[in-house]
Amino acid sequence: MRNLYFNIAALGALALAAGCQTMKPQQDEAPPAANPGFAAEMAKFNAQFPNDKATKYEDVSINFNNAQKLDERGN
């Protein structure tokens, strides 16, 4: 009986190895098209900072996270 399981396992390993050898390598995907407006939009976004509202939100959220020890607890 033990020999039967060994034979089945050996056949499975051979089938897996044969399947891996016949696979074609994946082709790399083409890079996404350039977005000419991205640089201008990113510059507008970055121009908003620092501002008082964003800085206050950041301070409040960091203090809350630290008080609750969220980094230590995870999730």
Residue pLDDT tens, the chain, 75 long: 678 887 888 888 877 777 666 566 667 888 878 898 999 999 998 898 888 888 899 899 999 999 998 888 866
The dihedral region occupied by 69, where left means phi > 0, alpha psi between -120 and 50, and beta the remainder, is left
Give the whole-angstrom CA distance, residue 70 versus residue 62. Answer: 10
pTM: 0.36
Beta strands in 1-75 (DSSP E): none
Please count the structural domains in the chain.
1
Does some domain include residue 61? yes
In a domain, 58, yes or no: yes
In this structure, is residue 6 part of a structural domain? no
Does a structural domain hold residue 38?
no
Nearest-CA neighbor of 18 among 27, 26, 10, 7?
10
- Residue 39 falls inside a structural domain: no
53 assigned to some structural domain: yes
55 found inside a domain: yes
Range of the domain at 58: 48-75
DSSP-derived 3-state class of residue 35: coil
Q: Is residue 74 part of a domain?
A: yes
